[in-house]
Amino acid sequence: MGRDLCDAFAEARQVFSLADELRPGTSAQCFEGPDSLLAETVNTQPCLFAAESAAAAVLEAKGLRADMAAGFSLGEVAAVAYCGGVDLETGFRLVCLRGRLMQEDAEAVPSSMAAVLKLDERTVTSLCSEHGVYPVNFNCPGQISVSGNQEAMAAFSAAVKSAGGRALPLKVRGGFHSPFMERASLRFREELRKISFRPFRIPLYANLTAEPYGNDPAQTLSAQICHPVLWEKTVRAMICAGADTFIELGPGKTLCGLIQKTDPSVRTFCASSAADIELICREVPSC
């Protein structure tokens, strides 16, 4: 991921160069994998941050600047940097720390995640309560991700099937955005308190509240680790605030799909390759 942008644009190369300077081997992991290495949280987070920030830098150089922003889970750290709350180097250091702390919590208590499909929110939350599982990512209508320990997840998945839904295991190594991550959240907050955040240049919608960040970024960004991601509400709030075009930065089209399922009337674009950038520049007016 990110190789095509790096080959095509100097701005992307500058981002990956900084990542390699701060964390040697980041580019190699992004470009070459393997998937098993990238699945480790301590690697996933800095690599995605680099790929997302590289795409943002290219679009910025092309004159495309967002009116508002949001980031899904670790993407919120990249969004804080994009919005000017911290510089890119500080953001990268923070996401490296975040990944390490969350991996430590994941290893302390074996847990996992699954995406639940075809069931409504009330049914999913009820099943979670019955089986000691946590609803953690409210992605879009008909899709909620959950976290739980391995024993609970097996029983929960069977219950989901009985209720007419599907529980698809996610390729992550921990029960993120749940109480399993409380220690990581507290330790991350300690480090965030040492940072002087700058005023955001545009509104940044928080996973924690589905509202723009307030006056305490450290609290919002740290609490996000052990609380649900309110993505569907976030997307709806941004649309209510005037957003009609969303550009997903970094590899894949997952968020584009979630946004389209939330509101098919808006336009979505992904920005993970030179061809994507060309399309966006052709279809989206610069500002």
Catalytic residues: 73, 177
Tokens standing for 113?
A: 């995640």
Helices 41-61 and 88-108: crossing angle, nearest 10°? 160
The neighbour count for residue 67, using CB atoms within 10 Å, is 12
Tokens standing for 75?
A: 């993407």
* Residue whose structure tokens are 């389209």: 260
Do residues 100 and 42 lie in contact, with contact meaning Cβ atoms separated by under 8 Å? yes
Give all strands (DSSP E) within 118-199, no chain letters: 134-140, 143-149, 166-169
**Rg of the chain (C-alpha set):** 18
